[in-house]
């Protein structure tokens, strides 16, 4: 019998239900190898994995183990850091509340103050709470938009952004060196409940005040208060605060999708609660037809990402990509702030390097400085912190192609609550001008050309997946192509060398002579290599054809098989 399996079965710490789950699969060598062959990797994005028993699964013992590592990081910061405490939130996922409470138990046993929300809350509110309560850190139990089988564990530091790599390394080193049972301190349930500070709905008011402060043109909302808005939270944490924010801002015709307002980690109405996928909006589209609405807003289970569907000229709904929504919001925010004389002279916007290049020409139009950062919203948070320290720039907007947006500085993670409100305000602005959001996007294309982006994932499953990933990245590092798709190579950057003014990262960046960009990087949370192709052309068909040609050439050059 597998040594680690035997350890779990014989440990007095492990509960009977977990042991029965393991006994049921004990004869399945492949299953046991998958559950115990490794441990869940802990990085700047924390933990994420399938629910179940084992070191390579999400369960209370893995959560306790990670929290003990976080406690070690906090205790190194001193007694004052322990007294400042940790705020803990969670979304609607299976075992989310249990994991949050187990984290509280470990913190209390280590002499660290703990705050816990009384029920599920959006991820950005956790980031906000860290700053509002002056906590040293924060924990959020969520697996974002992953399927129901998953859960996760995100960790934030005192600035409200996710952990820096060196901090994540301290936690991961502790996980690797400390025994999952013997070295983890756990308080009693009674002590945890007695000494944990519970945050209730009154705290939401402070968060909502900041969200409502993001409104740029309240008069546009007042004039279009009757505009029909359809909203779905996909069974998650946006269910209460997104409609509340819309109503308080002045929108009077907000209809929520009833079936998807039901809180459930089973996500019963969708295959995956991902606002990127149009099929998840099937019920919402029917409701939009009934209510004569021209757009639909959907937030993922932890309400940090937002997707938008807009009605086209043919009356059918089209899903905007994260890049398209980002470009629309960037143009609206800068234009509206300029029109209301509220655009700082030193205004700055921030995007990830894999997000649309259209952002550069939009910022140029308004005389705004654009900064590119690595993938991960914590890097946008770092820029906000830098701007506040140097005062050389004033942050006005940041976004990622992965459907994340932030227009204020009250949080340091993407905020779908404020983004939903801003999208509605933007729609009101264009409605006054007889335009839909689809019309607004086409207007951008007419002004700047058609920017088109493709995000591709090359799956690297299996025990040899890491080796194949390494071999792919090594080939790209050592063999320089002449170009792709018949376009010559202008420059290539290996971000492991600390170039482009960015921290070192396992990323290869190609810029072609026509301005097209290809970026290749391994995923930080899944066994995949992510490839981003960013192009511009005069028409949509031409841009799509160019992107496909670049993709095909890259795959051939890198030895990637078509899947």
> Domain limits of the chain?
38-199, 212-448, 450-558
Q: Which of 136-150, 266-280, 524-538 has the lowest mean pLDDT?
A: 524-538
What pLDDT was estimated at residue 261? 98
Closest Cα partner for 535 from 523, 517, 520, 551?
A: 517
187 is catalytic: no
**Contact, 124 vs 418, CB < 8 A?**
yes
What are the tens digits of pLDDT across the range 532-561? 999 999 999 999 999 999 999 999 999 988
User: Residue 97 pLDDT more than 70?
Assistant: yes
pLDDT digits over 318-364, tens only?
999 999 999 999 999 999 999 999 999 999 999 999 999 999 999 99
pLDDT at 72: 97
For residue 464, name the pLDDT band (cuts at 50, 70, 90).
confident
pLDDT at residue 460 in the model: 85
Q: Is residue 525's pLDDT more than 70?
A: no
Predicted pLDDT of residue 258: 98
Question: Is residue 2 over pLDDT 90?
Answer: no
Mean pLDDT calculated for residue range 286-294: 97
Residue 562 has pLDDT above 80, yes or no: no
pLDDT, mean of residues 404-430: 98
Alpha carbon 164 to its chain centroid, in Å, reads 16
The C-alpha atoms of residue 18 and residue 9 are separated, in whole angstroms, by: 9
pTM: 0.95
pLDDT recorded at residue 556: 94
Q: Say yes or no to pLDDT of 563 above 60.
A: no
d(CA 362, CA 425): 19
Name the nearest CA neighbour of 414 among 170, 212, 162, 201: 162
38-199 and 212-448, same CATH topology = yes
The catalytic residue among 10, 41, 144, 457 is 144
- Residue 462 predicted with pLDDT over 80: no
Indicate the class that CATH gives domain 212-448: alpha beta
Q: Which fold has domain 38-199?
A: Alpha-D-Glucose-1,6-Bisphosphate; Chain A, domain 3 (3.40.120)
Residues 115, 102: Cα–Cα separation, whole Å: 13
For residue range 419-456, what is the model confidence (pLDDT) as tens digits? 999 999 999 999 999 999 999 999 999 999 999 999 99
Residues 433 and 33: their CA atoms lie apart, in Å, by: 61
| Greater model confidence, 45 or 285 | 285
The CATH number given to 450-558 is: 3.30.310
Query: Distance between CA atoms of 180 and 184, rounded to whole angstroms?
Result: 6
């Amino acid at each position: 019998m597998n040594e680690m399996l035997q350890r779990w079965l014989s440990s007095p710490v492990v509960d009977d239900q977990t042991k029965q789950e393991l006994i049921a699969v004990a004869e399945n060598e492949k299953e046991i190898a998958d559950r115990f062959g490794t441990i869940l990797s802990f990085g700047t994005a924390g933990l994420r994995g399938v629910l179940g028993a084992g070191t390579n699964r999400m369960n209370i013992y893995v959560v306790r183990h990670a929290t003990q590592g976080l406690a070690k990081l906090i205790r190194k910061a001193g007694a004052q850091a322990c007294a400042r405490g940790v705020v803990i939130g969670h979304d609607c996922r299976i075992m989310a509340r249990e994991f949050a409470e187990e984290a509280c138990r470990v913190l209390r046993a280590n002499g660290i103050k703990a705050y816990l929300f009384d029920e599920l809350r959006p991820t950005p509110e956790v980031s906000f709470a860290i700053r509002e309560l002056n906590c040293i850190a924060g924990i959020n139990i969520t697996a974002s938009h992953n399927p129901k089988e998953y859960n996760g564990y995100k960790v934030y530091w005192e600035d409200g952004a996710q952990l820096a790599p060196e901090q994540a390394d301290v936690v991961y080193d502790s996980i690797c060196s400390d025994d999952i049972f013997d070295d983890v301190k756990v308080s009693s349930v009674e002590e945890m409940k007695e000494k944990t500070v519970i945050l209730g709905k009154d705290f939401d008011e402070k968060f909502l005040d900041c969200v409502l402060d993001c409104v740029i043109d309240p008069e546009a909302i007042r004039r279009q208060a009757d505009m029909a808005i359809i909203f779905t939270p996909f069974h998650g944490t946006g269910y209460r605060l997104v409609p509340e924010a819309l109503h308080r801002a002045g929108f009077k015709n907000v209809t929520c999708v009833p079936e998807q307002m039901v809180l459930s980690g089973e996500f019963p109405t969708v295959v995956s609660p991902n606002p990127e996928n149009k099929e998840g909006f099937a019920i919402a589209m029917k409701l939009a037809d009934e209510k004569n609405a021209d757009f639909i807003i959907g937030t993922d289970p932890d309400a940090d990402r937002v997707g938008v569907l807009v009605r086209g000229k043919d009356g059918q709904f089209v899903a905007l990509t994260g890049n398209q929504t980002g470009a629309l919001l960037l143009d609206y925010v800068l234009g509206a702030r300029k029109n209301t004389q509220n655009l700082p002279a030193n205004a700055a916007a921030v995007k990830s390097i894999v997000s649309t290049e259209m952002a550069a020409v939009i910022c140029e139009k308004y005389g705004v400085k654009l900064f590119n950062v690595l993938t991960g919203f914590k890097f946008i948070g770092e820029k906000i912190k830098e701007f506040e320290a140097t005062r050389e720039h004033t942050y006005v907007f940041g976004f990622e192609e992965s459907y994340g947006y932030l227009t204020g500085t009250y949080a340091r993670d993407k905020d779908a609550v404020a983004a939903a409100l801003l999208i509605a305000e933007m729609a009101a602005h264009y409605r006054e001008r007889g335009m839909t959001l689809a019309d607004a996007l086409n207007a951008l294309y007419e002004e700047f050309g058609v920017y088109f982006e493709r995000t591709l994932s090359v799956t690297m499953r299996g025990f040899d997946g890491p080796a194949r990933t390494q071999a792919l990245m090594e080939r790209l590092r050592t063999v320089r192509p002449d170009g792709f798709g018949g376009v010559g190579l202008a420059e290539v950057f290996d971000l492991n060398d600390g170039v482009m003014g960015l921290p070192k990262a396992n990323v290869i960046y190609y810029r072609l002579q026509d301005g097209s960009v290809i970026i290749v990087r391994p995923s930080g949370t899944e066994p995949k290599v992510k490839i981003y192709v960013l192009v511009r052309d005069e028409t949509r068909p031409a841009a799509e054809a160019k992107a496909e040609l670049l993709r095909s050439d890259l795959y051939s050059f890198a030895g990637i098989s078509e899947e």
